[in-house]
Amino acid sequence: MNLIYTSIGFFALAALLGMYLLTFVLRGKETPKAIVFSHGPMAVVGLVLLIIYIAKGGPNPWESLVLFVLAALGGLYMVSRDLTGRPIPKVLAVGHGLLAVGGFVLLLVFAFGN
């Protein structure tokens, strides 16, 4: 379970940075790129750890993984829009966050629910 706990730690840090970034997107401000490029890699590390845990077999949080993968795709799309000067749709930013929060909650339930 150590992998899951470490993964949760990275997702939690990524979530904090993500919420901070969301305040910039919702106010129509430029996102600070140091936060953008910290948020993404932290989430990726959490995701990789989760995939390694699942690959080891046994009971696993598939639903959480699916939500995180969808959130990651949305995140990549938003970064590409941001760096190429196109506005980030606020709905997309909120949706990305909700998917990630959903995945995070399911992961917490899986890790601590029993």
Partner 1 sequence: METRSFWEATTPQRPVYPTLEGDLQVDVAIIGGGITGITAAHQLARAGKSVAVLEARRVGGGTTGWSTGNLYVPVGPYLHHIAKTRSQEVASTVAQARFTALNFIEQHAQQYSIDCHFARRPWYFFTQEEDMASTIEKEAETLQQAGMAAELVTQVPGLSFDSVKRAVRMNGQARFHPLRYVLGLAKATTQMGGQIYEHTTVLDLKEEDDHCLLTTTQGTVTCNQLIIATHIPIGIHTVQTVAAPYRSYVVAMRLKSGTYPDAYYWHNDKTHHAITTHSTNSMELDMLMIAGNHHKTGQASHQEYQHYFNELEAYARQHFDVASVEFRWSAQHYRSGDGVPYIGLTHKGAKRTYIATGFYADGLTYGTVAGIQLAEMIAGEKSPWLGAFDATRGTNLATAGQFIKENANVAAQYLKDIPAGQASHFSDIEPGEGKTIEVDSEKLAVYRDEHSQLHICSAVCTHMKCIVNWNNAEKTWDCPCHGSRFMIDGSVIEGPAILNLERKAIDPRTGHLVDSGGKTSGEREINNPIT
User: Site residues for partner 1, window 29-88 (CB under 8 A)?
Assistant: 29-30, 32-38, 82-85
Q: How far apart are the first and last CA of the chain?
A: 13
> Between residues 37 and 112, which has the closer beta carbon with respect to partner 1?
37
> Between residues 37 and 62, which has the closer beta carbon with respect to partner 1?
37
In whole angstroms, the minimum distance from the beta carbon of 84 to partner 1 comes to 6
Q: Where does this chain bind partner 1 (CB under 8 A)?
A: 24, 27, 29-30, 32-38, 82-85
